[in-house]
Each structure stands twice: as structure tokens, then as C-alpha cells.
Chains A and B, each alone.
Chain A
Amino acid sequence: MIDKSALWIVIIALGVGSFAFRFVFTGLIGNRAMPDWLLRHLRYTAVAILPALVAPQVLWPAATGGSPDAPRMAAAAVTLTVGIITKNVLAAIVSGTATLYILLFFLN
């Protein structure tokens, strides 16, 4: 059973901490110029962080207890390929999801 006062401490600390992370640069630096080398690194934030976030979930999904899963890997590959070719987010999501469900249905 989760202790109620601990729960509220966690909720409030996470709320304050998460807001601080989200606000730290936009809030404190604001309109002041940032150095070129820093801006050059920041241009790659999205293309680095998000693939790094999903890569372990694609190869070792928690849902299968961490063992590689063909339907999930195929779905990831199809999503990425369709996204790169069509540049259409919805088309990529729909084809990836369809791949996942079709393979899960036939393989499991």
C-alpha cells in the first residue's frame, strides 16, 4: 500500500522539479544570445534524444520481458521507412501500427 503523505511529497516534488527543467533555459536565458557552439549542439537535441529513448524499447521491449520481438522490430522499421519516404507522420503511424498488429496476430 502506498503511503499517502509520501505520495503527495512525490507528486509535488515531481511537479516542481519537472517545471524547473522545462523552464530553466527559456525562463532564465530568455532573449540573450547563446554561443554558436552551444546552438550547434542544440540543433540535434530532437534527432538524438528521441531515437535514444525508443531504441532500447524497440530491441528489448518491457512487454516481452526484454527479449527481442520480431513484430515490434518490424513495426519500428516500417514506421521509420514510411516516415522517411513520405514525410507524412500519420501515414508512418498507421503503417507501423498495422504492421505490429498483423504480425502479432500471425506470429503469436
Chain B
Amino acid sequence: MAATTSKSIYREGVVAGLPFILVIIPFATLFGLLATEAGLSVFETLAFSVVVIAGAAQFTALQLMQENAPTIIIIASALAVNLRMAMYSASLTPYIGGAPLWQRALCAYVTVDQSYVVGIAKFEKSPEMTVPQRVAYFLGAVTPVVPLWYGFTFVGAYLGKQVPESWALDFAIPITFLAMIAPMFRTLAHVVAALVAVIVSLIVSQIPYSLGLIVAGAAGMMAGAQVELWTSREAGT
């Protein structure tokens, strides 16, 4: 019985992850194209996507390698772009921290913006979910994403010719993230957190290596937590 429930929750996660197919295919293809254009072999390009699975960090590393930046700078910059994953990990801990270690490790490997946002939206909305159900849902959400990330990196690397700029693929990511975030503005605190984060991110956008993102995110989280305290005090006591 429990197994059937987990299975249907896994399927629910898969459905929630489906819209990302529209983004992952062009994004992965683009990485494959650019990487081979920069001189990587098909195998190296695919290994990059399988080992790292982080689009923005991979593009950053590729860009810096082409500029012949020192290896240590390349690694530090791309990791800075990925620092938000540590915040996602902290944010997921109250929900899936009780899962067996191997499941937590598996979830960690497939933690990307898409699986995080789908998972966290569901966990917040349905506090009655059990830990195995949450893990099943999270792995479901990532099922349409990660295999396509590998597959279309390969397709892009194999095709090895430039996608026309007029496709405006750069904007696939902003559109999907905004679409994912919009339904999450449930309270004033959520709205304030987002507004503060956006304003700070624009002010600090000149800070190198995407570190401004971490500053902006932290500012937004502090603002959200503060508003939550104020509103709960007014409502409660």
C-alpha cells in the first residue's frame, strides 16, 4: 500500500517537472554546441554535464576557460555561481533530512534550480507529506530534467553548429523561473523577500563571480523572516 502511494507521488513529481523540458532541451543543446566550439570533445562535453549538472556554473567555467583564466579562478568562480545550492540544501533539510543517507546523497546530486523549486513549493503546500513521499516527489520532479540535460548536451555536442541568436534562448531561464516563483507569493513576507532580493541584486550586480547573488539572496531571506515575525506578532499576541 505504502509502495503504491509512493509511486503515485513519484508520478505527481514527474508531472510537476514536465514544463522544464521546454527549457532544458535548448539550454543543454546550447551548452553542447558552445563546449565543442570551444574545443572540447563530445566525450569531455558529456562528462562535464554528467559530473557537474549545473548549467550556469558550466557556462561560467567554459567562458573563463576560453579566456585562459587561471584554473583556480575558473573553479572558484564557477563554484561561487553554485553557492546557492548550499542554501537549497539548508532549505530542504527540514523536509528530507530524515531520509536514509543514500537517498539524501542521491537527492543532493540531482539538486538543481528546477528540482528545488518544484520540491519546495510542494513541501510547503502539503506539510502532511511523509519523508519517503517527499523524496519520491523530489526524484520524480527531476526525472524529466536530468536525463534530458545529459541527452541534449550530447545532441548539441554532436551537432556542433551554432544555434541562431534570434531564438533568444538566453531568456528561457528567466521565463521559467518567474513562472515557477509566481504561485509562491502567498504572504506579504514572501513578496517582501522577493522585492528586497531583486533590489539588492540590481545594486550589487557589479560584484564579480556572482557573489552579489548570495548577498541579495541573504538580504531577501532576512527581510522575509523579519516581516514574518512582525505579521505573526500582530496576529498572535
Interface residues of A (CB under 8 A from B): 1-2, 4, 6-15, 17-19, 21-27, 29-32, 34, 37-63, 71-72, 75-76, 79-84, 87-90, 92-93, 96-97, 100-101, 104
Q: Decide if B145 is an interface residue (CB 8 Å cutoff).
A: no
Interface size class of B (residues with CB under 8 A): 35 or more
The main secondary structure of chain A at its interface with chain B is: helix
Give B204 Cβ to nearest chain A Cβ, in Å. 9
Are the CB atoms of A46 and B93 closer together than 8 Å?
no
Contact between B75 and A47, CB atoms less than 8 A apart: no
Could you list some 11 contacts between A and B, CB below 8 A? A11-B47, A18-B52, A27-B101, A44-B190, A44-B193, A46-B117, A57-B173, A80-B181, A83-B182, A84-B182, A84-B185
Q: Does B108 belong to the interface (CB within 8 Å)?
A: yes
- CB contact under 8 A between A14 and B75, given known A41-B225, A50-B113: yes
Interface of B is mostly: helix
Check if B39 sits within 8 Å of A104, measured CB to CB: no
Q: Which residue of B lies closest to A63 (CB)?
A: B170
Q: Which residues of A contact B83 (CB under 8 A)?
A: 21
The reply on B86 being an interface residue by CB < 8 A is yes
Q: How far is the CB of A108 from chain B (nearest CB, A)?
A: 8
Question: By the criterion CB–CB under 8 Å, are B178 and A54 in contact?
Answer: yes
Contact B88 A22 (CB under 8 A): yes
Q: B58 to chain A: which residues have CB within 8 Å?
A: 14
Contact in complex: A58, B105 (CB < 8 Å): no
Query: B78 to chain A: which residues have CB within 8 Å?
Result: 10, 14
Q: Report chain A residues within 8 Å CB of B53.
A: 18
Q: Separation in Å of the A96 CB from the closest CB of chain B?
A: 4
